[in-house]
Amino acid sequence: MPRHIVHRRWRSFRKAVRSAATSHESQHVTELYPPDFFRDARVLITGGMGFLGSNLAIALVERGARVTLVDAMIDAYGGNPFNIAPVADRVIVNYCDIRDPNAMNYLVRDQDIILHLAGQVDHILSIVVSPFDDIDINVKGTAVVLEACRRYAPNARLIYTGTRGQYGRPHSLPVAEDAPTLPLGIYELTNLAAEKMVQIYQQVHGLRAVPLRITNVYGPRGQMKHSRYGVANWFVRLALDGLTIPVFGDGTILRDFLYVDDCVEAILACTASDTIQGEIFNVGAQTPYNFVDLADAVIRAVGHGQWTLTEFSPERKAQEPGSFYCDITKIREQLGWTPTISLDEGLARTVSYYREHRQHYW
């Protein structure tokens, strides 16, 4: 079985890349939307204590927004109070469930922007244990949010974050937004159903809604206690713990891995646009990597480690779509967004974060 060990010689290279990427990112943000667009905007984020929600919260507070976070803090879903530590005294946190109509009717009132991220996101759990949480949270929960918006925040800008899994096995690569949607699991199917509801509310009730299909996001503030959410982050934990990284299959399956800061900027760009309501956008990385490449990149970032090829479990094999990476031409051409952070740089930042804060995530 192949194994790979890499030492610390990449550190000076990563430092130079980090400096260049940070400069590029600052210029890129200014181009995507006016620098004061979010100042004093009232923003509600569902799933706000989780991975993507907390990173969005921090970015929005830094841009002057007034942010309210909603999170049910369901065990193992990734909600973590430490995620919002940099802005804890500048956000409002409401611990409630999106399936509660009374709570959502109250919370959406007077909001300018609603970022709907909350959901059951474990595609294996929905097949192996039960599909009912997916249906209840992803479908019913989204219906509750949409109905609350229709009644009490009809002019708010609404972003719904779905998944690249809605496509299923791709017919061709890269996968554009007009590709067939043939989900392989209940999780992906419920995301597609929620997306369709968002489109109906946009078309029938005039909600200013934009559905996104997001690829494999990694980076700081993701949960690290189990392997069911986010393969790149899990590889980082294994390498930091000195454990062997399992690479499923023959290691040649391709994915696009998107650093969380790039994903945040895509969501903010979609939020700020006045011309894309009802449109669907892929949010992914431009360059695909196979899982051996990913494992090698993680090992470079950590400074040590090894990987080995591993057989798929039956449930993973049944839902494995094969190689998949997004076509992001549409969002690039319409909004000017494109990722700016390379895989090596994103992993270096991720490793640095978890080395400093591992006691809050392990």
Under 8 Å CB-to-CB from 269, ≥6 apart: which residues? 32, 33, 331, 335, 336, 337
Give the CA distances from residue 311 to residues 185, 315, 317, in Å, rounded to whole numbers and listed in that order: 20, 12, 9
Q: Which two tokens stand for residue 122?
A: 């474990």
Distance of alpha carbon 360 from alpha carbon 230, whole angstroms: 17
Half-sphere exposure of 152 (CA within 13 A, CB side): 17
Under 8 Å CB-to-CB from 102, ≥6 apart: which residues? none
Strand, helix or coil for residue 44: strand
pTM of the model: 0.90
Half-sphere exposure of 222 (CA within 13 A, CB side): 26
pLDDT of residue 130: 82
Half-sphere exposure of 296 (CA within 13 A, CB side): 10
Angular region, 305: left φ>0, alpha ψ -120 to 50, beta rest: left
pLDDT of residue 160: 98
Distance of alpha carbon 47 from alpha carbon 77, whole angstroms: 9
Phi–psi pair at 236, nearest 5 degrees: -60, -45
pLDDT of residue 26: 38
pLDDT of residue 18: 36
pLDDT tens for the 362 residues of the chain, in order: 443 333 332 233 233 333 333 333 433 444 899 999 999 999 999 999 999 999 999 999 999 999 999 999 998 889 999 999 999 999 999 999 999 999 999 999 999 999 999 999 877 777 777 889 999 999 999 999 999 999 999 999 999 999 999 999 999 999 999 999 999 999 999 999 999 999 999 999 999 999 999 999 999 999 999 988 899 999 999 999 999 999 999 999 999 999 999 999 999 999 999 999 999 999 999 899 999 999 999 999 999 999 999 998 777 777 788 999 999 999 999 999 999 999 999 999 999 999 999 999 99
Distance of alpha carbon 153 from alpha carbon 159, whole angstroms: 13
Burial environment of residue 146 by CB neighbours within 10 A (0 to 12, 13 to 18, 19 or more):
buried
Under 8 Å CB-to-CB from 39, ≥6 apart: which residues? 63, 64, 65
Chain-centroid distance of CA 300 in Å reads: 24
Q: What is the DSSP string of 261-275?
A: HHHHHHHHHHHH-SS
Q: What is the DSSP string of 72-114?
A: ---TTS---GGGGGGGGGGEEEE---TT-HHHHHHHTTT-SEE
pLDDT of residue 227: 87
163 closest CA partner among 175, 152, 173: 175
Spelled out in words, what is the top-level CATH class assigned to the domain 11-357?
alpha beta
Distance of alpha carbon 34 from alpha carbon 156, whole angstroms: 18
Distance of alpha carbon 234 from alpha carbon 157, whole angstroms: 33
Q: What is the DSSP string of 189-215?
A: HHHHHHHHHHHHHHHHH--EEEEEEE-
Distance of alpha carbon 289 from alpha carbon 252, whole angstroms: 9
Asked if 309 and 249 touch (Cβ cutoff 8 Å), the reply is yes
Hey, where are the domains in the chain? 11-357
Unique residue bearing structure tokens 């929905």: 126
